[in-house]
Amino acid sequence: MKERARKAKRLTGVLAVVLTLMLLPTVGLALQAQEQEKPVWEFGLTGELYARGIKWSDQTTTLKSTNLMFELRARNLGHLFNLSFFGGLGLPRPNGVVFDQLPLTLEYQGGSITGLLFGARAEARLLPASDFNFGLMAEFTSCLGFKKDFALSGLVVPATATATPSWSQASGGLRVTYDALEGSQPFLEAAGSYFWGQFKMKEKIEDLEGEQKVELKGASYVSITAGWSFFLVDKITLVPKIRIFPGSRTTISGLLSIYYGF
């Protein structure tokens, strides 16, 4: 368990360093551009149906979550750089996770657990080529689930289980936009994506107690995102996105964001 957690931390660190290095030139260019052009600030609202294959021990299941996030975005910094910060509520459903180190083995099928969701996203437009623009993107999302109690019915004594899930996801990779359309801009992202998390379960059966933390990781390390930004009127932008996590357990997530410029 500890070894896996160390590996996860190491991988996260490497990913963070790589992403920072990748974005440094972009930041430089963006800062230059900022001197020339003021950023456009936007307030956004995003709804997401998130699904990702996750693994623990030798088991696999799908983590589903319904997320609602508020977002603050600085867009089009010198036509080079988008930066956004978001936060909101997530309803992760880590159904299927089994806690076999507890006195009484528990299998979670309890549905959604409300959690606090927050993160940041950066996009850089670096290489214009014909009607396309090639750039980089990096995104970090984290969800801290609140404790949820469940009664374990059917036993001859009072029993409860307390579940607390949390997870994080870091992605970084290439982003291509097609800029030739008037009023809209399709885009495609291919990224390395690392998922790690922990699902904590406490069990209390009369005076018999146990606690187990299950370390979670993603079933795949790649994500492909396709989306389209529609600049509806001057200050309103609508962005639908589909994100695929391909692999042995391919999942599709969908997002719909609406931004208002101010």
Partner 1 sequence: MAKTNFKKKYRYLPVIVSLLLVLVLVIMTAQTGAQNKIKDRLAASGQKTSGRLEEALKSRLNPAPPVKIKAISQPERLPGGPKYSAEKILVRFKPELSAQSTENILRAYQPLHFKLIPKINVYVMTVGEGTTVEETLAALKVNPDVLYAEPDYKLRLAVQPNDQLFRYQYALYNPGGTLQIPGSPTGKNRADIKATGAWDFAKGDPNLLIAVLDSGIDYTHPDLAGQVISTGKDFVNDDDDAMDDHWHGTHVAGIIAAATNNTEGIAGVAWNCRLLPGKIITAEGEGDYSDLIEALIWAADYTSAQARVGVINMSVGGEEPSSSLEAALEYAFNKGIVLVAACGNDGLAGVLYPAAYDQFCLAVAASDYNDEIADFSNSGPEVDVAAPGVWVLSTIPVALTEPGYLPYAFATGTSMATPHVAGFAALIKASKPWLRPGDIMKLIKYTPDDIETAGRDDFAGYGRINTERALSPFRIVK
Q: Give residue 117's Cα distance to chain centre.
A: 9
* Beta strands per DSSP E along 115-250: 115-129, 132-145, 148-151, 159-178, 184-205, 208-218, 222-233, 236-245
Q: How far is the CB of 14 from partner 1 (least distance, A)?
A: 30
In terms of CB distance, is 22 or 214 closer to partner 1? 214
- Under rule CB under 8 A, residue 192 binds partner 1: no
**Are 64 and 48 spatial neighbours (Cβ–Cβ below 8 Å)?**
no
Query: Per CB under 8 A, which of residues 210..229 are in contact with partner 1?
Result: 228
Q: Is 85 in the site for partner 1 (CB under 8 A)?
A: no
Q: Which is nearer to partner 1, 31 or 208 (CB)?
A: 208
- For partner 1, the closer of residues 22 and 113 by Cβ is 113
Q: Which of 130, 156, 234, 262 binds partner 1 (CB under 8 A)?
A: 156
CA distances 52 to 60, 123, 152, 243, Å, are 10, 22, 28, 10
Candidate ranges 7-15, 28-36, 122-130, 237-245; the one touching partner 1 (CB under 8 A): 237-245
Return the number of the residue (36 or 248) whose C-beta is nearest partner 1: 248
Q: 40: how many CB neighbours lie within 10 A of its CB?
A: 16
Contacting range for partner 1; rule: CB under 8 A; set: 23-31, 81-89, 135-143, 156-164: 156-164
Non-local (6+) Cβ contacts of 35 within 8 A are none
Tell whether residue 154 is a contact of partner 1 (CB under 8 A): yes
- Residue pointed to by tokens 């291509």: 176
Whole-angstrom Cα distance, residue 69 to residue 88?
4
**Residues near partner 1, by CB under 8 A:** 49, 51, 53, 60-62, 64, 96, 98, 100-101, 103-111, 150, 152, 154-157, 159, 161, 163, 182-184, 205-208, 228, 230-232, 238, 240, 242, 249-254, 256
